[in-house]
Amino acid sequence: MNIQFLGGAREVGRSAILVNDSLLLDYGMLTGNPPQYPVGDVDPDAVVVTHGHLDHVGLLPSLLSRDDWPPIHWTPPTYELTRLLARDTLKLHGGSYDCPFTGAEIKRLTQVSEPHGYREPFEAAGHEITFFNAGHIPGSAHVLVDDGETRLLYTGDFHTGDQRLLSGTTARPDADIVLCESTYSDVDRGDRAATERQFAESVETTVWEGGTVVVPAFAIGRTQEMLMVCEAHDIDCYVDGMGTQVTRMLRQQSEFVRDPDALQRAVSNARFVTGKNGQRKRIARKNTVIVTTSGMLTGGPAMTYIPEIRANPVNKIAMTGYQVEGTPGRDLLEHGRGEIDGRVMPVSAQVESYDFSAHADRDGLLSFLDSYRDAAVLVNHGDRCDAFAEELGADGYDADAPELGSRYEIAGDGATTRV
Ligand SMILES: [Zn+2]
């Protein structure tokens, strides 16, 4: 087997791995200004996709601009999320470098789509492929690739811990080589239940004091998780932004969530915002909780809510995930001011941050990899891939951190050579 790293190597974003020059695993973009795309020109026979986040699926429609369209294999939620994200990219950036595909190519996704469930082996470009639940977002999968000689396990993004929306990954299929994400390889996260309690108490306090709480949340996974947290703690809330569409979609894909009844209760507990007729400004004046995109305050209905609530120190902004450097969310946390909708605004409202991450932390990564002490390990998708690979090496693993564009030859027993 040979593997080439076209993206996501020693970086987060634009994941793309080519196996045996024929099978493409993920095809994402690195969002930013300007966005970055995987390196090289790729013309795969088939594509297999781990999960519906932009950094893994953002560029898929661009593979459908030629005459021969490769089939795309994924779980049903990943298909739905990819279409949703592609339509959003087209709406925001259509006709510019930031959107290297058109509406016609988005429509073709449906024609090439090959949906599969977990643990149902299928064939793609001459390889046997099996998906296993990765516990990251609904539909997320570890991908096992068997070319008849070598078994490669590509973890994709995964979580070993339980969330309300999803159970953590328990699948540890046999493999000769593991390509493992390492996003939070230096983070030791506290107890999830304690984080949830602190969040709930803080939000309730603000509501009792007569304030408004804005909860910025990523559309996929996090919005639904926060609705479930609110319901579990008897907190009434509104929900707004792209997360409302994802929530509706997930109700049709109930076998991909941990507890469909709990999700249904959370949906019933939340009031869905349409945004018509100044509804958002009216809600922002209410003594309530608003779960809304975007998670890092880079856009979405949060751009309406934050200016409305920012001046009153009784109000609160409760972040629910990691804030990338340079985003308004990060600036608000660190400096109490941030650029909201093109205007730098000071914020008197309280700003707090809670770690509801959907990725394994250091302990989670190590416990996962403990099942693969006899396999070769290649580390990708992280800011410190090389450091983590070195730490694994010191712990007895055969580990390496591929560089962008690099190519590896893997023997049947997992022996790995960079070529
Ligand atoms: Zn992800």
DSSP per-residue string spanning 26-63:
----B-SSS-B--SS----SEEE---SSHHHHTTGGGG
Distance 72 CA to ligand 1 centre (A): 18
Q: What is the pLDDT along the chain (419 residues), one digit of tens a residue?
A: 999 999 999 999 999 999 999 999 999 999 888 999 999 999 999 999 999 999 999 999 999 999 999 999 999 999 999 999 999 999 999 999 999 999 999 999 999 999 999 999 999 999 999 999 999 999 999 999 999 999 999 999 999 999 999 999 999 999 999 999 999 999 999 899 999 999 999 999 999 999 999 999 999 999 999 999 999 999 999 999 999 999 999 999 999 999 999 999 999 999 999 999 899 999 999 999 999 999 999 999 999 999 999 999 999 999 999 999 999 999 999 999 999 989 999 999 999 999 999 999 999 999 999 999 999 999 999 999 999 999 999 999 999 999 999 999 998 877 888 88
pTM of the model: 0.97
Distance 296 CA to ligand 1 centre (A): 15
List beta partners, residue 177. 152, 376
Distance 257 CA to ligand 1 centre (A): 16
Distance, in Å, from the CA atom of 383 to the CA atom of 325, rounded to the nearest integer, reads 13
Distance 413 CA to ligand 1 centre (A): 30
β-pairing verdict for 2-7 and 407-410: antiparallel
The token pair that represents 329 in the structure block: 């969310």
First and final C-alpha spacing in the chain: 12
Distance, in Å, from the CA atom of 155 to the CA atom of 151, rounded to the nearest integer, reads 13
Distance, in Å, from the CA atom of 26 to the CA atom of 59, rounded to the nearest integer, reads 9
Per-chain residues with Cβ under 5 A from ion ligand 1: 53, 157
Distance 51 CA to ligand 1 centre (A): 7
Distance 19 CA to ligand 1 centre (A): 21
Give the length of the chain: 419
List beta partners, residue 80. none
The token pair that represents 417 in the structure block: 């050579």
With a CB cutoff of 8 Å and minimum separation 6, the contacts of 202 are 316, 318, 352
In 3D space, the residue among 328, 313, 330, 319 whose CA is nearest the CA of residue 292 turns out to be 319
